[in-house]
């Protein structure tokens, strides 16, 4: 049985795409640009706000106007963190089970602390979650294992006895680099051209509820 369970945030623990979709299209409308579909936004949310700027404005990080568009998007998002954002279906049951068992759980994300803390509190998770590791707290982001190792140390768990759940290749790589058991969340923000089976995760789940059996078994059997 895992001694701790850690989650990526966007696309794994919570569905943030609806709020990002609204915010991006508001910013695009203000700039006189056409809207983006929910499907297009969902495919890029795990890659961060910079990817959404590229999607909506067709700008790269080195292009003139990119930094301004990014700042505008982030400011708009800060004002709409938890309007339509929610736990993925079935995730509440998983968290309730972890809480009932006394199993620590936390978040290791590439989402800045400026947004991560408020959205967790807005969803009523602020008092329940254990370690929350953001880029602000580490030297290197995922796929480097630093954040995951910090999270495990915070709860006194051996990495080999921890689960890390994520919806992106870098999540699985980070988990593997940390020596954790990895779970690929196929319900997350996967690009249509991706083959998550090529990530070589230890487990694959199509729905959050499929985590529940993993909480009862020897992860290394």
Q: At what angle do helices 146-155 and 169-178 cross, to 10 degrees?
A: 60
In angstroms, rounded to a whole number, what is the distance separating the alpha carbons of residues 50 and 67?
9
| Cβ within 8 Å of residue 114, ≥6 positions away | 78
C-alpha pair distances (Å), 201 with each of 3, 95, 130, 166, 204: 19, 21, 24, 10, 7
Residues designated catalytic:
8, 10
Residue 98 three-state SS: helix
CB contact at 8 A, 58 and 69? no
Positive or negative, the CA dihedral 209, 215, 217, 221 is positive
As a whole number of angstroms, the distance between CA 37 and CA 133 comes to 31
């Amino acid at each position: 049985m895992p001694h701790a369970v850690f989650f990526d945030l966007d696309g794994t623990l919570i569905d943030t795409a609806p709020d990002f979709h609204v915010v991006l299209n508001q910013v695009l409308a203000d700039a006189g640009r056409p809207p983006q579909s929910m499907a297009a936004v969902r495919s890029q949310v795990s890659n961060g706000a910079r990817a959404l700027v590229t999607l909506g404005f067709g700008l790269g990080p080195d292009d003139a106007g990119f930094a301004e568009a990014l700042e505008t998007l982030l400011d708009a998002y800060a004002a709409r963190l938890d309007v339509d954002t929610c736990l993925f279906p079935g995730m509440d049951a998983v968290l309730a089970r972890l809480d009932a068992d006394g199993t620590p759980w936390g978040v290791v994300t590439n989402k800045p602390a400026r947004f991560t803390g408020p959205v967790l509190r807005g969803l009523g998770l602020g008092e329940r979650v254990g370690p929350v590791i953001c880029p602000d707290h580490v030297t290197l982001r995922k796929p480097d294992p630093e954040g995951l190792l910090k999270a495990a140390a915070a709860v006194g768990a051996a990495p080999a006895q921890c689960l890390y759940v994520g919806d992106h290749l870098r999540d699985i790589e980070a988990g593997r680099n940390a020596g954790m058991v990895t779970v690929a969340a196929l319900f997350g923000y996967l690009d249509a051209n991706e083959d998550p089976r090529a990530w070589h995760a230890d487990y694959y789940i199509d729905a959050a509820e499929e985590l529940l059996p993993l909480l009862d078994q020897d992860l290394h059997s």
